[in-house]
Structures are given as structure tokens and as C-alpha cells.
Chains A and B, each alone.
Chain A
């Protein structure tokens, strides 16, 4: 127990908690902490260009390493700028600590300069938050906050620290046992439930694993456990957008992503299954489609660390509360103990192969060198060119995100960083910055839309400053393509404000920031262009011009059932009833 300033305590706690990187932006209310960080020997501070980017960079850092991301911002506008990323982390269950400066305690509530009610504003977009009024409590709160952010279902925790609390001295205590006095998420699955699950799996004729981001959050061991259980049971696997990478995409048991832009085979298999084993997935509306038609004939097992996710949307037959990895391990052990052999699922697989035969991800394209590049082709080419390099892929939000999810294959977790729950345009580029900071030697590529990229494009400066070799690959269709697609589907192609007008010249922009800028216009240039991007050291922006009006299929229109997929563009009518229009 040592006497030190609040600011020193913050930094000491970060050191004690093993933090090596902080993403932030200074301001009046955090100057004491910035001073304590000055020339710090072990903590690297990454200066972003906008606080929202600090939060997404921290998410990228976290998602690619499994460690919590740390953010440091000032009071008022610094804190409010961070809110989008905090909410993003809440919805995607990313462990994150956000340290915000606050006006001194004697000025709180007086509308002081750069005062905002940070704990009030972030109360419902954090897992937990604190306003620290007493420097003696600061050390314990820092440790507790890390515990809360990383235990149970992970999420963002805000610690709001008034400036006088940073300056005043207090006693820094590392709690003997770092935990929260009452928050004890259930990690170990119930043994009876595991046994019941095994009986259900062993008896199923048409089982399917439906996995989500929880498997990624549970760490690489959980992905390994999933692979083992799948190989023991012989059942097919589908996953949510957030779960990609937990199961290898080149495995024959992989059906592809499910849901609104998922594959025909995974959605049909979910619909016709007699048993769904949901692992760390939460039956999101993008996944279920029309609820009363969702997998009508199946029993459902739901494994989740968050009890409130169970029965929230879809009632299940068997709930297993606990860590996804532990539950998968327990299932594997129980399967082996009981001496189960995989059932003959031949009939089930024959039906699945029938659905696969629709080749739902195929797309029409011209093959000559001067042809327009289909965006799907660009993603496939990027995947082919980077195979064996184990790249980390981030995306922005829109059609390009879905095409990346459909056509880029992943064989390991923590390589796919995307904003799933909140769907935040502006996530992908800063997330790539965070991932690259954590993995300096790796190939990190942001697959971007030209509209989304502009939401945090100022981070080009951050990349230049830290000499990060981030690659941005823009699928430039000159449209907010996803919005245009919905307008075609629902509003008879009245393209209200969805055209990306007045785009910058991305190649010149690259030059302005000291990056390399490349442009790809035709199919004939695609492979060489991608290779040039990979071979060019340092940051590269690729303005890859793609077919402007391509749409993303397959698609389950909002309010439709899994069995009502639109497979081809000509299935579109351009109108929709009000019930469907009212869905997001």
C-alpha cells in the first residue's frame, strides 16, 4: 500500500493489470494521467484522431488478442465521442475499459466547462460504470473494472475520474483477490444439463451446431473444443457473423454463415433440423428471420454465459448457463464417457448436399479483362491472394461486409473483426489500427465501403504517425450499397440520399498522408493490384472500383422465413407491406 497521486495510481494499476497499450486523446480533464504516462517505459499510448476511433481501435486490439482494450479520453466531448464505440463493444461483448476525465468533484453538476454526465450517459451502454470520488478507492476500482469487463459476458466498463481525484493522493491497494463483491457469473455448466444435452445430441437425426461470438470470446480453446465435438458427433455447423473463424471454413461440415445474408444450406438446415445446439449465440433478429417460422420442428439447446440471452427471443428446451469453452469440453467428455458413436447422419447430409447444390453464393459475372469487377470476385481474389499469410480482416458495415463474410474463409478465431450488433459504419478502419498495433508483423486488411470509410478516415494520420502497415481495400461502388439495395427491395428504387456523391480521390488522399494509393478499375487489373497492395510495405489504400449496382444475395427479406430466401436479383418485387417495412 503506497501513497501516490490518483493519476499515478491509474498508471500503476494499468501496469499491474498487464496493459501494454492505451488508445486515447488528451484534454484538460485528463492531463494529470497524460503526464503520468509521459515517456512511460511499458505502456504505449496510441494517439488517435477522434475518440470514437480510440474505442474501435481498442475493440480491434481486444478482438484480435483476447485481451481487454483500454481507452483514455477527456471529459465532455471526449467522453461523448466515445459513446458509439462503447455501445458497439456492449452489443458485441468486447471487454473494454474506458477511462474518462471529469471536471473536479466540487464543480460536478454546475455545467462546468466540458462537463457532461458521463456515468449518466453511459449507464445503459456499459456493462458497468463508476464515478470515482475518493482517490483511496481508485486502485480497487481499476482492478474491479477489469474483472467485470473480462468475466462473464464481456463488455465495456467506464471509469469516470474527476481531475482533482487524479491530482490528490491516496493509498494504492491491489486487492488480494481481484473480483467483485457479489458479481459471480456462472462459468461451469451444470453437469445434469450436460448429460441431458448429450442424450439429445445422440438421439438427433438432423442436428446442427449454431455458434456465435461467444465461442470466440471464450478463447481459442473453445474453438478447438467445438471442432472436436463436431468431429465426434458428425453434425453440421453454421455460425453467426460474429462467430466466423471458430470453425474452419474449409471443413466439409461447415455450412457457411446463417441468417439474413447467410447461405441457403445453413438456413434450410436450421429450418429443417430436429435439434439445434446454440453455442454463444443469441438468436438475433438477423439470424432468426420471421420468428414464428424459425426452425419449427427442432428441439433447442442453448449454451450461453448470459442467462438473460436464454429464452429471450426463442424458447429453448434445454438451457446450459456457462462458458462456451467449458460447456463444449464437458459435452465432449460426456460424449466419450458414454461411449457414443456418431449416428449415421447420411440422410441428413444428403438433404444438406441437395441445398448446397443451389450454389447460392455464385454470382453472375463477365470474365473478360476489361469487365467490371464483381465485388464478390474482389473478395474471393483477396482471399486467394492472402491464403497462407493468416491475415486479420476487419470490415466496415454494408454490402461489402456481407460479401466479406460470405466469400472470405477463416480457419481460426480472432482473425475476423466486424461490427455485428450495432452495425457501426466507421468501425473497420480504426479496428484495423488496433489489430495492427497488437500484431505489428501481421497482414491486417480493412475491407471497406467508400461511404463507411469516410466516417473515420481521419485515422489515416494515426497510421502514418505509428508507421502501421495497414491495408485498406475499398469495394468502391459509389453507393451506400446496402441502403440502395433496401430501397430497391422496399421503395421501388427511389434512391433517397444513398448515392456516394463527391467522393475524394482516394489515391491522392493516400499521397497526402504519405501512404501508397492504388486504383483497380477492371477485372484484368484485380490480381496484380491485390498483389501490389500486399507487396507494398507500409500503409496502402486500394480504391477497387466494383460493379456499382451489384446486390448482396442470398437474402432473407425482413419479416420472412428462412425458407423464403431471395436467391437471385430477379426475385425482387420492389414493394413490401407495412409490417415488413417496419422491421429494421
Chain B
């Protein structure tokens, strides 16, 4: 007997939650307990009184599963609002990566040239290394990192995706 899996599509969810202890465990636990995917998850306090956090989750699944994920998140007591940005209309997605590259000579020059093409900033340098800061869609960050692998990449840190809907309205 083989266990079957279903193909899915990528969705970006914005979840507003009470900023209380254990909330992240609650959300990630829900995903693992029900077998949903998490491609990326970011969280930070977003309100003046520190009462609310916004969690951005990138997940994937068939439409019925995405619908369930939203409904399951929405019924958690500390969850205020769940929005599927992918379904909601146009939105902006950004991710930051810090990319450390070590090397000398041509490779070093090539790394710097490509960083310029990608509008990555140099945030730290030694005679034998750079740290680049790159901001963009996950795709762009992926592509930059792939190129840096050829130029002496030694370490990467990524934030995961944050996203927000276009236009004047708030969620």
C-alpha cells in the first residue's frame, strides 16, 4: 500500500493574535497536529500597547485544505483575524536575508558586482569577507543566494516572508 499526497498551491496568510505566552506554540502545533505545511512563519508585536502580534504564514495545500487552515486558525481563542492575502487581491511580499561570503580575488569582486545588480547592501566587511543584506521577494532572495554559492557563500540568515495588501485600506 502507498500513502497518497495531494498537490497544493502557495498561500500567504496574515494572522492577528493576542500577544500572549504560548501563542506561537499553539499556531505551529496546530499546523503539525493537522499535517499542514509551513514554508515560512514570521511573527512580531505590531500594536502600540504591545497587545497584538501579526503572524505571516506561507503555506501550501489544495484549496480545501487552505480553507480548513483558515477556519482552524480562526477558531483559536487568541486569534483575532485571519486573512488570505493570496486570495485577497494584490499584495506585497518581502523577505530580508543576511548573506555572508568569504574569499579573495576574483570571487570577491564578482560577489560585490552581483550584489550591486541585486541592490544588496554591504553591511559588514573584512579583507576576506562581506555580509550582504538583501531585501525582496523570496524568489529574488533565492536567486541571489544561489549565485552567492558560486562566490564563497559561508552562511545565510533569512527572516521569512512578511506581506501586506496593496492600496489604502487596512485588513
- Rounded to whole angstroms, the CA-CA distance of A419 and B79 in the bound complex is 29
One of A118-126, A250-258, A331-339, A449-457 contacting the partner:
A118-126
Find the residue from B72, B74, B77, B79 having the highest chain A CB count within 10 A.
B77
Whole-angstrom distance from the CB of A422 to the nearest CB of chain B?
A: 15
Which residues does chain A contribute within 8 Å of B8, judged by CB atoms?
A: none
Contact yes or no, A120 B75, CB < 8 A: no
Interface membership of chain B positions 7-27, coded 1 if the CB is closer than 8 angstroms to chain A and 0 otherwise: 000000000001001100110
Q: A120-B25, A123-B26 are in contact. Are A311 and B80 (CB under 8 A)?
A: no
- Rounded to whole angstroms, the CA-CA distance of A455 and B26 in the bound complex is 31
One of B63-71, B113-121, B157-165 contacting the partner:
B63-71
Q: A124-B30, A582-B1 are in contact. Are A308 and B25 (CB under 8 A)?
A: no
Interface membership of chain A positions 297-341, coded 1 if the CB is closer than 8 angstroms to chain B and 0 otherwise: 000000000111011100100000000000000000000000000
Contact yes or no, B68 A308, CB < 8 A: yes
Contact yes or no, B29 A307, CB < 8 A: no
Q: A123-B26, A308-B68, A315-B64 are in contact. Are A148 and B1 (CB under 8 A)?
A: no
Whole-angstrom distance from the CB of B15 to the nearest CB of chain A?
A: 13
Which residues does chain A contribute within 8 Å of B48, judged by CB atoms?
A: none
Contact yes or no, A124 B33, CB < 8 A: yes
Whole-angstrom distance from the CB of A459 to the nearest CB of chain B?
A: 31
Contact yes or no, B21 A183, CB < 8 A: no
Contact yes or no, B75 A307, CB < 8 A: yes
Contact yes or no, B21 A131, CB < 8 A: yes
A344 within 8 A of partner (CB): no
- Rounded to whole angstroms, the CA-CA distance of A307 and B74 in the bound complex is 9
Which one of A124, A153, A183, A582 lies within 8 Å of B29 (CB-CB)? A124
Whole-angstrom distance from the CB of A581 to the nearest CB of chain B?
A: 8
Which residues does chain A contribute within 8 Å of B22, judged by CB atoms?
A: 119-120, 123, 129, 131
- Rounded to whole angstroms, the CA-CA distance of A142 and B72 in the bound complex is 25
Q: A183-B77, A308-B72 are in contact. Are A123 and B25 (CB under 8 A)?
A: yes
The A interface is mostly helix, strand or loop, or mixed, namely loop
Contact yes or no, A182 B18, CB < 8 A: yes
Which residues does chain B contribute within 8 Å of A128, judged by CB atoms?
A: 77-78
Which residues does chain A contribute within 8 Å of B67, judged by CB atoms?
A: 311
Which residues does chain A contribute within 8 Å of B1, judged by CB atoms?
A: 578-579, 582
**Which partner residue on chain A sits nearest B64 by CB separation?**
A311
A180 within 8 A of partner (CB): yes
- Rounded to whole angstroms, the CA-CA distance of A565 and B22 in the bound complex is 46
- Rounded to whole angstroms, the CA-CA distance of A119 and B71 in the bound complex is 23
Which residues does chain B contribute within 8 Å of A182, judged by CB atoms?
A: 18, 78-80
Which one of A124, A180, A312, A579 lies within 8 Å of B77 (CB-CB)? A180
Give chain B interface residues in 1-57, CB to chain A under 8 Å. 1, 18, 21-22, 25-26, 29-30, 33
**Which partner residue on chain A sits nearest B71 by CB separation?**
A308
Which residues does chain A contribute within 8 Å of B68, judged by CB atoms?
A: 308, 311-312
Which residues does chain A contribute within 8 Å of B75, judged by CB atoms?
A: 152-153, 306-308
- Rounded to whole angstroms, the CA-CA distance of A308 and B78 in the bound complex is 16
Which residues does chain A contribute within 8 Å of B21, judged by CB atoms?
A: 131
- Rounded to whole angstroms, the CA-CA distance of A153 and B78 in the bound complex is 15
Which residues does chain B contribute within 8 Å of A183, judged by CB atoms?
A: 77
A127 within 8 A of partner (CB): yes
Interface membership of chain B positions 59-98, coded 1 if the CB is closer than 8 angstroms to chain A and 0 otherwise: 0000010011001101101111000000000000000000
- Rounded to whole angstroms, the CA-CA distance of A182 and B79 in the bound complex is 8
Can you sample 20 A-B contacts with CB below 8 Å? A120-B22, A120-B25, A123-B22, A123-B25, A123-B29, A124-B29, A124-B30, A127-B77, A131-B22, A181-B18, A182-B18, A182-B78, A182-B79, A182-B80, A308-B74, A308-B75, A311-B64, A312-B68, A312-B71, A582-B1
Q: Which 4 A-B pairs have CB atoms at the shortest separation, nearest pair first?
A: A308-B71, A578-B1, A128-B77, A182-B80
Q: Which positions in A face B, CB cutoff 8 Å? A: 119-120, 123-124, 127-129, 131, 148, 152-153, 180-183, 306-308, 310-312, 315, 578-579, 582
Apart from A123-B26, A131-B22, A312-B68: 11 A-B pairs, beta carbons within 8 A:
A120-B25, A123-B29, A124-B29, A152-B75, A182-B79, A311-B64, A311-B68, A311-B71, A312-B71, A578-B1, A579-B1
